[in-house]
Amino acid sequence: MQRKTKTAGKDFLYRLSRRTKQARHWLTAQFAKGLLSLLRRLPTDTALNFADRTARRLGPLVGRHKVALDNLRRAYPEKSEAEIEAIALDMWGNMARLAAEYIFLDSLFDYDPHATEPGRVEVSGERLFEKIAAEDRPHIIFTGHLGNFELLPIAGATYGMKVTALFRPPNNPYIADYILSTRRSAMGDLLASQAGASFALARILENNGTIGMLVDQKFTNGLPTTFFGRPCQTSPLLPKLVRQFDCDVYPARCIRLPNNRFKLVIEDRLDLPRDANGGVDLTQTAQLLNDVVERWVREDPGQWMWFHKRWALSKGRRSRDRRGAPTEA
């Protein structure tokens, strides 16, 4: 009887914990959506500038600000504390702009390859977009969390590319649903990074499709690599897909410009490292991806998410059904 009572008590606490967490997620999502709804009523530039200013004030008050400062000090030991703090504030401004830009994606992306006057968005590497769209072979376009990376698949669609973007949903399911609906209406095909995603990506590449991937997240039990000279773990998914399907791999990024403008850049196809048998070397390829993203971040450090625990190393193995998913920490 006593054992049953203890078991019933544990079950009750577990259910209570889950419901409390669910309620907290719901309240957070309602607050976020309410704030975005208010911003939507403002002119685009006014809303984005307000989000930037607000985040620069509130960002230093949250716990992740300390994580960002620590990461920045390690990445840039030669910089002063004032320089480190300035980059962190730029980061918070960028992240707030990114969040607010979800509700303005339809008006922000005004790129027209035939326009005579520049708009908010400019593109560097048009011939590569055209080349990828015209080729009947598998492609992977990778990027990092820089600027508004959400604009890249929209640019690809402008040139006739059919891109399936792999993304990691936020932990909050209500915010995840909201963002997914916003993304899908503007960006086309999306695939959540979860169990079975690798098989779906394989089918796309097998049919000579194009996928887009973010490669700068912490990955549980990933390949041993470095980023800014520090050990980290990187997803093996892209290298494995390339080795299996002989994909062409292209780096692409978004650079945030003054006055709420953007520059989308796609670079030449990567020459991937090979092993002794001629196959794609998984670890060296993962390292090459990190090196490309590090180059981008060094050029625009305030546009990357320094509060992310990119360098946190896994301790032990996770359960099989969770293995292979990128993790935000």
CA-CA-CA-CA dihedral for 95, 109, 104, 142, to nearest 10 = -40
Residues 126 and 226 in one domain: yes
Q: Provide the CATH number for the domain around residue 145.
A: 3.40.1130.10
Are 281 and 199 members of one domain? yes
Residue 238 has pLDDT above 70, yes or no: yes
Instruction: Read off the pLDDT of each residue in 192-199 and give the average, rounded to a whole number.
Output: 72
Residues 130 and 249 occupy one common structural domain: yes
Inside any domain, residue 329: no
pLDDT tens column, 134-187: 999 999 999 999 999 989 988 888 888 888 887 665 666 666 666 666 655 555
Residue 240 in tokens: 């494995």
Q: Clarify whether residues 141 and 264 are in a common domain.
A: yes
Half-sphere exposure of 248 (CA within 13 A, CB side): 17
Report the largest interatomic distance among the alpha carbons of the chain, rounded to a whole angstrom: 81
Domain assignment of residue 298, yes or no: yes
Weakest mean pLDDT among 12-16, 38-42, 96-100: 12-16
CA atoms of 282 and 287, how far apart (whole Å):
9
Residue 34 CA to its chain's centroid (Å): 24
| Residue 242, domain member (yes or no) | yes
Contact 44, 107 (CB under 8 A): yes
Provide the mean pLDDT of the chain.
85
- Looking at the structure, tell me whether residues 208 and 70 fall in a common domain: no
pLDDT of residue 323: 42
Domain region containing 177 = 119-303
Structure tokens given for 142: 């990778």
Residue 325 has pLDDT above 60, yes or no: no
Answer yes or no: do 89 and 222 share one domain. no
| One domain, residues 220 and 263 | yes
Residues 139 and 84 in one domain: no
Domain count, the chain: 2
Is the residue at 327 inside a domain? no
242-301 pLDDT, tens per residue?
999 999 999 999 999 999 999 999 999 999 999 999 899 999 999 999 999 999 999 999
Residues 202, 56 within the same domain: no
Say whether both 277 and 252 belong to one domain: yes
Residue 32 lies in a domain: yes
| pLDDT band per the 50, 70, 90 thresholds, residue 191 | low
Asked if residue 309 belongs to a domain, the reply is no
Distances (CA, A) of 146 to 22, 51, 137, 161: 30, 17, 27, 22
The pTM of this model reads: 0.83
Contacts (Cβ under 8 Å, ≥6 apart) of 36: 99, 100, 102, 103
